[in-house]
Structure 1
């Protein structure tokens, strides 16, 4: 029944060993470097989806005051009208509130497959399964990586969180703690993957935020110029 998922796990194992072979060719044999390369490959492959997600999250943050104003105006009066106005606002600003779901759904099988692969990984050379202070990437319970996973999750979330929204503000602090705990309980290789994934994601988000702000300022400037004529 789950033969297709075993194929993903086997494919992940083969890709990891291939990337390890690549690091060996470079004269830097390391499964840690192989995981970093794997993370960058996955992040690059997901970028088209992630870009839409990141753009929507930035715009959601920017139009949050307008959404709140609509909610307050129609609260307890006309819920259907309220939803209609909010959806119109989303459409005007090219925002898809569901944009964040697809990258997460795509990533979940990858995370589970990597977890399964690393839990009993057939290292070609176990001596190269260590990385920095980690004795083996298959071991669990690395506090430093867990802390890094929590910190990088917080930093990435900070770039898109609307702190005026109490729910988002709560998630900003609770989600990193949850991710840190998960990172502590899974193989160190998966925690390393999460740290690199968050770091690359934060860099991408910073650029997306900058581009979105410049685009919005450009549109505002053009509209202002038209109105002044």
Structure 2
């Protein structure tokens, strides 16, 4: 797969006269644009589930109270309620999106790790080395994108967001800025996708999928 990344980035550099850093950003944008139908289908499913769960909240509370002393039976009854009302906590769209994002993410990480990229971009003197300011910025954007990511949970898990941001920061401090540029660009796109989906799907009538 390395040759594919190398070929694509070299083409962007030669045809569009881009620096290595800009070529990584443009390549990431192209990849995420190709994957957008899959990711948006997953977001649509998530918002649909959120709307249905909000409508079912009174019934959910009744079941939790009724079977509070039997967690196994409580879980079974809740799953029956979800199924009968078309709530899918792990739909095929969600699973497909997770699998595709994981495969592409791993491929990009390995590809950029094995490709010799260098050069200046903005304040970054050499994208072949890590940059603390880029790492901090990407960690912050990653946390922000997680905050706005739709979830069926009643509250935001701030501890998980903080933990993932710290893991992101530590990871990026130990890899090249080229990977940081990919990670940051991908996180920015995820953030805008979540915000766009929120405007399109939230507080609307239950979605027909």
How would you bin the TM-score normalised by the shorter chain?
A: 0.7 to 0.9
Q: Does 1:112 align with 2:102?
A: no
TM norm structure 2: 0.79
1:119 aligned counterpart, secondary structure: helix
**More relative contact order in 1 or in 2 (CA 8 Å, sep 6+)?**
2
- The corresponding residue for 1:19 is 12
Following superposition, the deviation at residue 87 of structure 1 comes to: 5.4
Q: Given the alignment of the two structures, is residue 136 of structure 1 paired with residue 129 of structure 2, yes or no?
A: no
Q: Contact between 1:49 and 1:102, CA under 8 Å: does it hold in 2?
A: yes
TM-score (norm 1): 0.73
Q: 1:216 to 1:95 in 2, by over 3 A?
A: farther
Change in Cα spacing, 1:116 to 1:22, as seen in structure 2 (3 Å) is same
* Counterpart residue number, 2:3: 10
Structure 2 distance, partners of 1:22, 1:156, is 32
SS in 2 for 1:131: coil
State the distance in 2 between where 1:9 and 1:91 align: 47
Structure 2 CA distance for aligned equivalents of residues 196 and 173 of structure 1: 20
Please show how residues 166-185 of structure 1 align to structure 2 within 5 Å. 168-185=157-174
Consecutive unaligned residues in structure 1, runs of 5 or more:
1-7, 220-229
Rounded to whole Å, the distance in 1 between the matches of 2:140 and 2:80 is 34
Quote the offset at 1:72 in angstroms.
Answer: 4.5
Task: Give the deviation of 1:191 after TM superposition.
Answer: 0.7
Contact 2:25 2:182 in 1 (8 A): yes
Q: Does 1:191 align with 2:180?
A: yes
Who wins on radius of gyration, i.e. which is larger?
A: 1
Task: Tell me, yes or no, if the aligned pair for 2:9 and 2:20 is still in contact at 8 Å.
Answer: yes
Alignment of 1:1-229 (within 5 A): 8-24=1-17, 29-61=18-50, 63=53, 66=57, 69=61, 70-77=63-70, 79-80=72-73, 82-86=75-79, 88-89=81-82, 92=85, 95-98=88-91, 99-122=93-116, 129-140=119-130, 142-159=131-148, 160=150, 164-165=154-155, 168-216=157-205
Residue pair 1:23, 1:30 contacting (<8 A) in 2 also: no
Q: How many residues align?
A: 202
- Structure 1 distance, partners of 2:35, 2:84, is 24
Superposed CA offset, 1:67-118 (max 9, x none): 9624444333362463353354366355442554433332334333333333
Coordinate RMSD, CA, aligned: 3.0
